[in-house]
Amino acid sequence: MSTVTRASLAEHIYSQVGLSRNESADLLEHVLERVAKELEGGNTVKISGFGTFSVRQKGRRTGRNPKTGVEVPILPRSVLVFRPSQLLRARVNGRQVEGIEDEGE
Amino acid sequence: MTKSELIAELAAANPHLLGRDVELIVQTIFSEISAALARGDRVELRGFGAFTVKKRDARTGRNPRTGEMVAVDEKVVPFFKAGKELRERVNGGVEPGED
């Protein structure tokens, strides 16, 4: 198993689009930042054929330090959840699924 | 925000690029992440998060409507874990769990 990083994604943009390496890296950053900003504002980001990023509110609950057993309050918080599309779910299992080529936007 | 809105915004912010190139850039990013996950690779984007696949064992499920038992094969599912920076930004600037 290898790890794909910003550098390799930028390299793919470079070879696919014909921009300079610098500009490819900048645009990748721009895309990630734009998605992050949207999520920061509490909004959902839906990438058809890939998945949906959304922010979920979690209420206050009582947790426990697993080591000491001491009860600690877990404060209300907002967490990011990613729901992969049917297409991506099928792809990672090596399946081609017809009829879900692209999900509506 | 949808993918087409993301493409439109990116195109507006980069008037020197062709619209179809901006579209290709956005498509390339998400299709390369998908391809990596399909190979079983991990995609790590510091500050943003990491995409991985997780294996789920075969199990016996039930059709929720009929209550009938159905065999569910072993499968892998895509998983995303937000990076520290993004986790904090989404939570109003503080690490969830901190006071």
- The half-sphere exposure of B69 on its side-chain side, counting CA atoms within 13 A, is 3
pLDDT tens, A1-33?
899 999 999 999 999 998 999 999 999 999 999
ipTM of the complex: 0.89
Q: Under an 8 A CB cutoff, do A88 and B78 touch?
A: yes
Contact B30, A53 (CB under 8 A): no
**B46 and B35 assigned to the same domain:** no
| Start-to-end CA span in chain A (Å) | 32
- Please, what is the angle between helix B19-38 and helix B3-13, to 10°? 130
pLDDT for the residue B98: 55
Q: Does residue A69 lie in a domain region?
A: no
pLDDT above 70: percentage of residues in chain A = 91
Q: Under an 8 A CB cutoff, do A17 and B79 touch?
A: no
Taking only the tens of pLDDT, chain B with its 99 residues reads 999 999 999 999 999 999 999 999 999 999 999 999 999 999 999 999 999 999 999 999 999 999 999 999 999 999 999 999 999 999 988 887 655
Q: Which domain holds residue B20?
A: 1-39
**B26 and B1 assigned to the same domain:** yes
Question: What is the domain-level CATH number for residue B55?
Answer: 4.10.520.10
**B84 and B48 assigned to the same domain:** yes
**B24 and B57 assigned to the same domain:** no
Q: Does residue A20 lie in a domain region?
A: yes
- 3-state SS class at A18: coil
Q: Minimal Cα–Cα distance from A69 to chain B, Å? A: 17
The structural domain count of chain B equals: 2
